[in-house]
Amino acid sequence: MSTDPISIIIIEDEPEFRRRFAQIIESEPTMRLAGVAANKRDAQALIDREQFDVMLIDLGLPDGTGIDLIRNVSQKKPDVDIMVVTVFGDEQHVVSSIEAGATGYILKDSTPADVISCIRLLRAGGSPVSPVVARSVLRAIRSRMGAAGTSVGTVSRSPNTESNPLSGRETEILQLLAKGMSFNEIGEILGISPHTVTAHIKKIYRKLAVHSRGEAVYEASQMGLLRS
């Protein structure tokens, strides 16, 4: 497993928060601050110039929305983890960020310890979400299910391989995830490294618009992607 420090960029327009997050990263020996930007234009230049593992990004930038940057990074640098750090915890902002490719979403009042632990969780394949934000996600799921005339626990979709958004390898990994196997165990079974497993799982989360193992398994089962 790599011992290189986690390389992080920060996109934040408010000087106080920008300094605070920079200090949090710089005080952690296992992490490296690769750069900071205060607006969308400078952020795009930073993204194009630097190699990094994690992007911490605010949504409200003076010259545009952070959603565009999230979408850009998730498409061009799929191995990068994206965590929104913002004051916006409402359903619209949360869902838009996740759909754009964010894999974590926490609020700005998170403690330094929480920020560090969330970054580590991101790199381990998880998707940290603040409790308030999690409630917004649940509301969005319920709203969409209600609009479709369905309810939790009663939905049952027929298998449809033509609508499967996952690759063969991703489906294979999801099958093993559903059986409760760890990333290391999946890697041993498939003959690939845990890092490669993690990269596949992040893509699975993005394609299924979920942020945890449980949600991925649930959504895939509803889509008929998992063998019984």
Residues 113 and 172 in one domain: no
What single-letter amino acid sits at 194? P
Total residues belonging to the chain: 228
Residues of the domain holding 169 = 156-222
Residues 106 and 164 in one domain: no
Residues of 143-153 as b/e, b for ≥16 C-beta within 10 angstroms?
Answer: eeeeeeeeeee
Burial grade of 141 (CB within 10 A; 0-12, 13-18, 19 or more): middle
Domain end (from 137, 167, 196): 137
Domain end (from 80, 110, 137): 137
Residue-level pLDDT at 132: 66
Residues 11 and 105 in one domain: yes
Query: Over the chain, what HEC string results?
Result: CCCCCEEEEEECCCHHHHHHHHHHHHCCCCEEEEEEECCHHHHHHHHHHCCCCEEEECCEECCEEHHHHHHHHHHHCCCCEEEEEECCCCHHHHHHHHHHCCCEEEECCCCHHHHHHHHHHHHCCCCCECHHHHHHHHHHHHHHHHHCCCCCCCCCCCCCHHHCCCCHHHHHHHHHHHCCCCHHHHHHHHCCCHHHHHHHHHHHHHHHCCCCHHHHHHHHHHCCCCCC
pLDDT exceeds 50 at position 161: no
Contacts of 84 (CB under 8 A, 6+ apart): 57, 58, 59, 66, 70, 97, 102, 104, 105, 106
Residue 149 in any domain: the answer is no
Residues 174 and 83 in one domain: no
Residues 82 and 18 in one domain: yes
pTM above 0.75, yes or no: no
Residues 89 and 129 in one domain: yes
Sign of CA dihedral 92, 93, 97, 103: negative
pLDDT digits (tens, 9 = 90+) for 167-187: 888 888 888 888 778 888 888
For the chain, the domain total comes to: 2
* Residue 15, both tokens: 């000087």
Straight-line distance from the first to the last Cα atom of the chain, in angstroms, rounded to the nearest whole number: 34
pLDDT digits (tens, 9 = 90+) for 28-41: 999 999 999 999 99
pLDDT exceeds 80 at position 146: no
Residue 25 in any domain: the answer is yes
CATH code, 99: 3.40.50.2300
Residues 110 and 27 in one domain: yes
Task: Identify the weakest region by mean pLDDT among 37-41, 88-92, 142-146.
Answer: 142-146
Domain end (from 73, 106, 137): 137
CATH code, 178: 1.10.10.10
Task: Identify the weakest region by mean pLDDT among 67-76, 109-118, 179-188.
Answer: 179-188
Residue 145 in any domain: the answer is no
Residue-level pLDDT at 1: 46
Residue 227 in any domain: the answer is no
Residue-level pLDDT at 138: 61
pLDDT band at 134 (very low <50, low <70, confident <90, very high): low
Residues 69 and 132 in one domain: yes
pLDDT exceeds 90 at position 23: yes
Residue 27 in any domain: the answer is yes
Residues 164 and 132 in one domain: no
Residues 98 and 127 in one domain: yes
What average pLDDT does the chain have?
81
Residue 36 in any domain: the answer is yes
Residue 84 in any domain: the answer is yes
Q: What is d(CA 39, CA 217) in angstroms, rounded to the nearest whole number?
A: 37
* Residue 214, both tokens: 């449980």
pLDDT band at 197 (very low <50, low <70, confident <90, very high): confident
Residue 113 in any domain: the answer is yes
What single-letter amino acid sits at 1? M
Residues 201 and 168 in one domain: yes
Among the listed residues 125, 128, 142, 144, the one whose alpha carbon sits nearest the alpha carbon of residue 205: 125
Residues 50 and 161 in one domain: no
